Copies of this chain bind each other. A is one copy, B any other.
Amino acid sequence: MTEERKISMAVIRRLPRYYRYLGELLEKGVDKISSRELSEKMNVTASQIRQDLNNFGGFGQQGYGYNVEYLHSEIAKILGLDQNYKMIIVGVGNLGQALANYGSFEKRGFHLVGLFDVNPRLIGMSIRGIEVKDIDQMEQFVKENKIDIAILTVPKTRVKDIAENLASWGIKGLWNFSPVDLFLPSEVQIENVHLSHSLMTLAYKINEGDNL
């Protein structure tokens, strides 16, 4: 593969937003857009949009703008949305069940294929046709099915061991919802969703207004 200079995560985290806006334009039947028009919709600078996109090559055309469908599909490729991922959920509590019921990940190539828990009351239950299995069966399942991503919605006391095991079984990514930081070999990619951090940040913003 061609050697490219390291793209910053700040740029990467903006791509899904571009992708979403382009998807909406696509649905509306819009077929071209300029960086300025998009910048106004998204409330960012046109310069940033052009800089971000040019990290990956030239997707536009001078004097014209960007073809919506093409740009949309190119961003999908950059993010890896042109591929399929096999996912399992570990921990089928409230949040695990909610995520299991989410159909919308499927259409982006994220396929839920397994559910695991320790709770005998949950084991055997099915969500969207997927049976909850005992966590003892997880090693075999992950290895046999070549699972790419594990969604971790287990209590924080359990997550470290589970994550380390999954890493040793060759998982590629962990989507971690526990309020814990995982330190694992660099082959395993980690994306944290710290809901409590997000809520605390909201509390700060609410009070910040008082100081103005």
Give chain A's interface residues, CB within 8 Å of chain B.
1, 3-4, 9, 12-13, 15-17, 19-20, 42-43, 78-81, 83, 85, 93-95, 97-99, 101-102, 104-105, 108, 110, 148-149, 172-173, 175, 179, 181, 183, 187, 189-191, 193-211
> Which residue of B has the minimal Cβ distance to A20?
B179
Pick the contact of A97 from B98, B104, B198, B205 — CB < 8 Å? B98
Which residues of B are found within 8 Å of A83, using beta-carbon distances?
203, 207
CA distance A201 to B204 in the complex (A): 26
Q: Given A19-B200, A175-B198, A202-B149, check contact A94 B85 (CB 8 Å).
A: no
| Copies in the assembly, this chain | 2
Cβ-defined contact, B79 with A211, below 8 A:
no
| Residue of A19, A20, A104, A203 with most chain B CB atoms under a 10 A cut-off | A203
> Which residue of B has the minimal Cβ distance to A197?
B16
Which residues of B are found within 8 Å of A194, using beta-carbon distances?
16-17
Pick the contact of A1 from B19, B20, B203, B211 — CB < 8 Å? B211
Which residues of B are found within 8 Å of A4, using beta-carbon distances?
211
